[in-house]
Amino acid sequence: MNRIFLRLRNSLAPKVIISTVILSLVVIYLTGSALNSQLATGIKKVNLDSSRIEARSTIFSAEYRFLLAQGEKAEAVRKVIDDIISSATSLTTNENAREVIFIRSPGNTTIQDYEITSNLVDPISIPDYLSKKVRKSNDLTSSYIPIRYIGGQSISGLAFGQKVQIPGAGQYEMYMVFSLANQNATLDLIQRLLLLTGSALLLLIALIVWLVVRQVVRPVREAAVIAAQFTAGDFRQRMKITSKDEIATLGNAFNEMAESLEKQIARLENLSRVQQRFVSDVSHELRTPLTTLRMASEVINASRNSFDPVVARSTELLVAQLDRFERLLEDLLEVSRFDAEVAIIEAVEFDMVQLAHRCAEDLSLVASQRSTELRIYSIAGSINVSADIRRVERILRNLFSNAIDHAEEKPIAITILASEHDVAVGVRDHGVGLDANSLTRVFDRFWRADPSRARTRGGTGLGLSIALEDARLHNGELEAWGRPGKGAHFVLTLPRKASAAIESRLIKLAPDDIHE
């Protein structure tokens, strides 16, 4: 059942076929109902008119014969009644029955009793309401009734009645009753034919729609398969064109797009390889002169006390900028490893809480210089994690340093939570914060939230980008939240076991102290 549901939800052809069949079913039902109603009305009207004419003629003939029998003896009158019944009724099956019923009108107290019915019809077939209508009217009166026979059999019928005067017996009610069995059988046959025709038409519509949709969906499905192969890295596939219709035009456009994409991707891959090689080569080549410059700067810096104050200050700036340059080269080498997809993790078992405290202690001097402090709140005194400790430490140092740079002399809260499968670290500062545009770019390479002050703080603009890559290398995630003037919140979520996946977000990205 689930497989059928998924196929219906994920495939266009069943959706179109089912929708078309349902709409066609509604149209066929409405059309068939209207047609059946019109046919039934027409058949009933024709039957009613013909039966009325026959009943009127029969009752008129009976009245004429009763008029001629005035003054005759009772035996002669009864013979006239028997002749009327014999000539007006049929002795065939009930489906074709025409019956005659004579009923004494209420108030008739004559001695002679001519109540009689043909073919054992039960007089109770005539309902009281019809009898009252006949007695009140001087014209022919009709009604649909069930014809009951003595013995329990009953069929649908149409009765016509009128008052008559029987010689020597007073007022009677004469009824001509016609069976509707043939009419109902005809209507049932029409309904069955309409149902059969509608079902056949519905099947034909479904088949036609399936054939049409198949012609349309097949190239679309083929295009989807080829697009999936493009996603997997195979750009050699093309759609087969066998016609010159609109689908062929779509196929040609798709193939042209695929060829263009293949060329563009090949060009971009080549450019990316050149850029990666350039960054890697430059980073490696600069390390040798950088080492020489560092050695020379350390020698000069060791003798700075004997220099002029201006020269001594220049020496300190030289050492600081060489440190910054070295960090930049290290970051560039790490970025080149990520781009080349050769970065790996070396998992070891370590205590996340202890690592966070060590990183905070290492940065405590910088924090005090910024008039802030790092406050760690942990769910437990020890949380063991299996991960690459060097990369996790780099993530924490980047987050702590970033918070210190933007804390605006307000304390920084570091929250550590853990579950059986995941561990999360939240770094919350109450500084300048981040606007919506900054949130979309905060993990971009070389992007700075405050370019006017970035150089004074010595950042390379790669820290958060590398931190995000390190987190994802562990199958984890690093997310950022911020509002201008309300600070920022960075949340790192990692699996506690190497190569596992995170199962839940333990720390909400939007801080609890903010109501939006």
pLDDT at 300: 76
pLDDT above 50 for 516: yes
Whole-angstrom Cα distance, residue 312 to residue 297? 11
Least confident range of 83-92, 120-129, 467-476: 83-92
What is the reported pLDDT for 248?
74
Residues in Cβ contact with 43 at an 8 Å cutoff, skipping those fewer than 6 apart: 183, 186, 187
* Average pLDDT in the chain: 83
Residue 148 in tokens: 């009951």
Ranges of H-type helices in 153-245: 181-231
The residues that bridge with 426 in the sheet, in sequence order, are 415, 491
Amino acid at site 461: G
Report the pLDDT value the prediction gives residue 341, as an integer from 0 to 100.
Answer: 63
User: What's the pLDDT at 452?
Assistant: 46
Confidence of residue 58 (pLDDT cuts 50, 70, 90): very high
Point out which residues pair with 154 in neighbouring strands: 148
What are the strands of the beta sheet with 154-166, ordered from one edge? 116-117, 98-104, 170-179, 154-166, 141-148
Query: What mean pLDDT is predicted for residues 109-115?
Result: 86
pLDDT category, 276, cuts 50, 70, 90?
Answer: low
**pLDDT at residue 383 above 90?**
yes
CA pair distance 311, 513, nearest whole angstrom: 50
Res 455: pLDDT: 43
pLDDT tens digits for range 478-497? 999 999 988 999 999 999 99
Q: Output the pLDDT for position 331.
A: 66
Average of per-residue pLDDT across 329-355:
77
Mean pLDDT to the nearest integer, 369-392: 92
Q: Yes or no: say if 383 and 472 are a contact pair by the CB < 8 Å rule.
A: no
How many helices and strands, by DSSP H and E, does the chain display? 13, 12
Among the ranges given (26-40, 292-306, 330-344), the one the predictor scored with the smallest mean pLDDT: 330-344
- Where does residue 354 rank: exposed (0-12), middle (13-18), buried (19+ CB within 10 A)? middle
Return the pLDDT at 223: 75
User: 3-class SS at 499?
Assistant: coil
**Between 337 and 88, whose confidence is greater?**
88
Structure tokens at 46: 């024709």
| Cα Rg of the chain (Å, integer) | 50
Mean pLDDT of 177-193: 90
Minimum mean pLDDT range among 337-341, 356-360, 437-441: 337-341
At 258 the pLDDT is 77
> Residue 94: what pLDDT?
55
Task: State mean pLDDT over 254-278.
Answer: 74
d(CA 155, CA 175): 16
- The span from the CA of 383 to the CA of 431, in Å, is 29
Pick the more confident residue, 426 or 243: 426
What share of the chain has pLDDT > 90, as a percent? 36
Residue 15: pLDDT band by 50, 70, 90 thresholds?
confident
- pLDDT, greater one: 101 or 246: 101
Q: pLDDT tens digits for 425-467? A: 999 999 888 888 888 888 887 776 654 444 444 456 778 888 8
Q: Does the pLDDT value for residue 213 go beyond 60?
A: yes
For the chain, which domains are there?
16-186 (3.30.450.20), 247-339 (1.10.287.130), 348-495 (3.30.565.10)
φ/ψ of residue 109, rounded to 5: -110, 15
What integer is the mean pLDDT of 355-369?
Answer: 91
Q: Which of 196-205, 301-310, 380-389 bottoms out in mean pLDDT, i.e. has the lowest?
A: 301-310
In this predicted structure, what is the pLDDT of residue 52? 93
Please tell me the distance from the alpha carbon of residue 162 to that of residue 170, in angstroms, as a whole number.
Answer: 14
Q: pLDDT at position 14, please?
A: 76
Q: In this predicted structure, what is the pLDDT of residue 11?
A: 66
For residue 85, give the amino acid letter.
I
Size of the chain in residues: 516
The whole-number pLDDT of residue 282 equals 64
Residue 224 has pLDDT above 70, yes or no: yes
Residue 95: which pLDDT band, with cuts at 50, 70 and 90? low
